[in-house]
Amino acid sequence: MSADQNRNHDMSRTDIALLLADAADEVEIGTAPVQAVLRGGRRRRARRWAVAATAVVVAGSTGALAVTGLPGAGQGDRQTNVAKPPASPQARHVYEPQRTELARGTYRGKEWHVAVQVWGAPQNEDEAARQFDAMAELGIEPVDDKPAALVGRISYFVTRKYGSEPPRQFLFDSRKKLERLSGKDLQSATNPLDDTSEPKGDRLVVGEVAKTAREVTCTWKDGTTTVLKSGPVVYEHNLPKPAIVPAEGYPTANWFVCVAPERTTYRTVEVTK
């Protein structure tokens, strides 16, 4: 190789190094750095290779910046770990209960009906105080006369209303967790149909049974029986026939109501299937 060729070869390598350094110094990191580099390359044909290489690097960096800068980008893990806000007292039925009518009918020319109310558990004493007042407005009296005792407890009330008289509660409790019945477990209470009968004249039976119970039999003092089946309520002459039914807000048991024929009263009740 001649001296001129060696000098030209050395100059070429030097020129390339200088061109790379020069191109890198002129790259502008701004709104569109790729376009700035390409414009520089168009002005200097001799630097085309260096500009192309730099453009690839900047384009890769620009792409990365664009992705991380997008709204929500890189926040997938944070979004899945963000806790949902707690449900409001209204959504939890703290100030207004979930209500299910269990039975209704007519006695001595006046209408009666039986319903169950389920009140959600207050989370603090302020919610408990408001719930206590809301219960009082509906004529409901909880187990404890101190509002603070309601904190963390679900309350339920079975009420019977006759004619124009206010509802009367006769089966109720407040619990941290509703009891889950099983097998032939049964809880019940009796009551007159009206507000004038003597206590011994109880003809109304209301109770709760396990979700798996398929049949409840009420036996009356005259030897007759009333059999209730699980399933939807069936209406006959606009009156519900006795049945075992669910109640809103009460997922651990089903409810039933049976009424004795006139001139007889309650003797026993049991789950028969």
Query: What pLDDT is attached to residue 11?
Result: 53
User: Could you tell me the CA-to-CA distances from 203 to 74, 122, 192, 257 in Å, in that order?
Assistant: 67, 35, 5, 10
CA distance 248 to 116: 9
Per-range mean pLDDT, top range of 68-72, 185-189, 196-200: 185-189
Report phi then psi at 8, rounded to 5. Answer: -65, -40
- Identify which of 195, 187, 143 has the alpha carbon closest to the alpha carbon of residue 167: 195
What average pLDDT does this structure show over 171-179?
A: 92
Q: Residue 89 — very low, low, confident or very high, per pLDDT cuts 50/70/90?
A: confident
What average pLDDT does this structure show over 63-91?
A: 56
Helix (H, G, I), strand (E, B) or coil at 172: strand
What is the residue whose two structure tokens read 């939890």?
92
Query: What pLDDT is attached to residue 70?
Result: 35
Q: Which residue has the higher pLDDT, 233 or 1?
A: 233
Q: Which residue has the higher pLDDT, 174 or 86?
A: 174
User: Is there a contact between 216 and 204 (Cβ–Cβ < 8 Å)?
Assistant: no
What is the residue whose two structure tokens read 């390598």?
13
pLDDT tens track for 193-202: 887 655 567 8
- 4: Cα separation from own chain's centroid: 86
Q: Which residue has the higher pLDDT, 63 or 169?
A: 169
Query: What pLDDT is attached to residue 18?
Result: 56
Query: What pLDDT is attached to residue 37?
Result: 44
Query: What pLDDT is attached to residue 127?
Result: 92
Q: With 70 as the cut, is the pLDDT of residue 129 above it?
A: yes
What average pLDDT does this structure show over 24-47?
A: 47
Query: What pLDDT is attached to residue 17?
Result: 57
Query: What pLDDT is attached to residue 80?
Result: 54
Q: What angle do CA 167, 169, 175 make, to 5 degrees?
A: 135
Q: With 50 as the cut, is the pLDDT of residue 56 above it?
A: no
- 268: Cα separation from own chain's centroid: 39
Query: What pLDDT is attached to residue 142?
Result: 93
- Identify which of 97, 139, 140, 152 has the alpha carbon closest to the alpha carbon of residue 119: 97
pLDDT tens track for 134-162: 999 999 999 998 999 999 999 999 999 99
pLDDT tens track for 227-240: 999 877 776 655 56
What average pLDDT does this structure show over 59-80?
A: 42
pTM value is 0.65
